[in-house]
């Protein structure tokens, strides 16, 4: 199969390397998925840049995977030909305290697609059948792909921020996750206030129904009940807190983030709270996919052929498109 991977030199060269590999063979409990589309996530950039480290190299990135089941190992009930989505959470132990509390995303033995195991920048990928998500087969796989991470983690971020219908909610950074979160907020009857340095992203937010869009340093005109930071930029934390009302909640959605700056106690005083968002559970995925059909969520995508994955990552780094880049694998 054709694939693109991070190797030992990628952090220096800033580029994935092309590989030709044997087609993977599923083992007990595994699916082999013929990849149709794979989302390009900022987490993939963190892996490419060496800010996240895979346990071994080369590693094929990609964890927003849509495709059809092509082969199965023993003890798999999902039929060949079924449309499935493969998200970031590859597996969890199911036995530890975190798993038993329903927080498998915090399992110390959790493994992640495109980091601990090979991901979707390839023609085929293996996945645990019990962690695969069934998808409607009539939808465009390119538009489904952003739901598998951007959608799921955006949904969990809103839940971690304890957003309730009718609230004023700030979104800091307006890329793949936030453009889906905004549609959820509108469905819940919330007002969305978007903070972005990109004029194109601010226009996109207003087109999708944001109440207000501006820079992080600009006052939105109303105190916010809750906010989510999507950009991996630590200095946004005190800025976001300053926009919250007393008792407001801030969720930080970042698997990697630059250091938080020193800040005066006054910005968090008044029972404002801060919580991080660490991965997501299978249940988050099921709930988001059900919600996506109810709303329905319409993803904004820029499509690239698999061979142009490096260009897609460069464009993501430059924030040169709205929504999400998606690789088409044919």
Domains (ranges, CATH) in the chain? 2-138+300-328 (3.90.180.10), 151-277 (3.40.50.720)
Question: 56-109: per-residue pLDDT in tens?
Answer: 999 999 999 999 999 999 999 999 999 999 999 999 999 999 999 999 999 999
What's the pTM value of the predicted model, to 2 decimals? 0.96
191 DSSP assignment: E
pLDDT at 266: 97
CA distance 155 to 256: 18
Mean pLDDT of the chain: 97
Question: 291-330: per-residue pLDDT in tens?
Answer: 999 999 999 999 999 999 999 999 999 999 999 999 999 8
Nearest to 120, CA basis, from 177, 60, 45: 60
CA distance 330 to 327: 10
Burial 265-304 (b: 16+ CB within 10 A, else e): eebbeeebebeebbbbbbebbebbbebbeeeebebbbbeb
Question: 148-172: per-residue pLDDT in tens?
Answer: 999 999 999 999 999 999 999 999 9
- Judged on CB neighbours under 10 Å (0-12, 13-18, 19+), 11 is middle
Q: Which two tokens stand for residue 245?
A: 């009302």
Confidence of residue 224 (pLDDT cuts 50, 70, 90): very high
């Amino acid at each position: 199969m054709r694939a693109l991977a991070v190797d030992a030199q990628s952090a220096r060269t800033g580029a994935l390397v092309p590989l030709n590999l044997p087609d993977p063979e599923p083992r007990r409990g595994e699916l082999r998925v013929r990849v149709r589309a794979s989302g390009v996530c900022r987490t993939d950039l963190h892996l490419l840049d060496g800010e996240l480290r895979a346990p071994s190299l080369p590693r094929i990135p990609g964890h927003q995977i849509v495709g059809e089941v092509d082969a199965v190992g023993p003890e798999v009930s999902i039929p060949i030909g079924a449309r499935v989505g493969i998200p970031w959470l590859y597996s969890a132990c199911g036995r530890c305290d975190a798993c038993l509390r329903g927080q498998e995303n915090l399992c110390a033995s959790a493994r992640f697609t495109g980091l601990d195991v090979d991901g979707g920048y390839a023609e085929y990928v293996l996945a645990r059948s019990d962690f695969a998500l069934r998808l409607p087969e009539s939808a465009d796989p390119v538009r489904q792909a952003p739901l598998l991470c951007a959608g799921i983690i955006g949904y969990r971020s809103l839940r971690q921020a304890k957003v309730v219908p009718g609230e004023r909610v700030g979104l800091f950074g307006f890329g793949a996750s936030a453009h889906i979160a905004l549609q959820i907020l509108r469905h819940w009857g919330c007002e969305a206030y978007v903070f972005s340095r990109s004029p194109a992203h601010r226009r996109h937010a207003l087109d999708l129904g944001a109440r207000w869009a501006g820079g992080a340093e600009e006052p939105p005109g109303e105190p916010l009940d809750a906010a989510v930071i999507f950009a991996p930029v630590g200095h946004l934390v005190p800025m976001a807190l300053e926009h919250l009302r007393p008792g407001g909640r801030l969720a930080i959605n970042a698997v990697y983030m630059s250091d938080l700056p020193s800040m005066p106690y006054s910005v968090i005083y008044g029972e404002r709270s801060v919580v991080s968002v660490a991965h997501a559970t299978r249940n988050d995925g099921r709930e988001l996919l059900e919600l996506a059909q109810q709303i329905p969520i319409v993803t904004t995508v820029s499509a690239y052929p698999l061979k142009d994955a490096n260009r897609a990552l460069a464009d993501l780094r430059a924030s040169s498109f709205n929504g999400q880049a998606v690789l088409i694998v044919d």
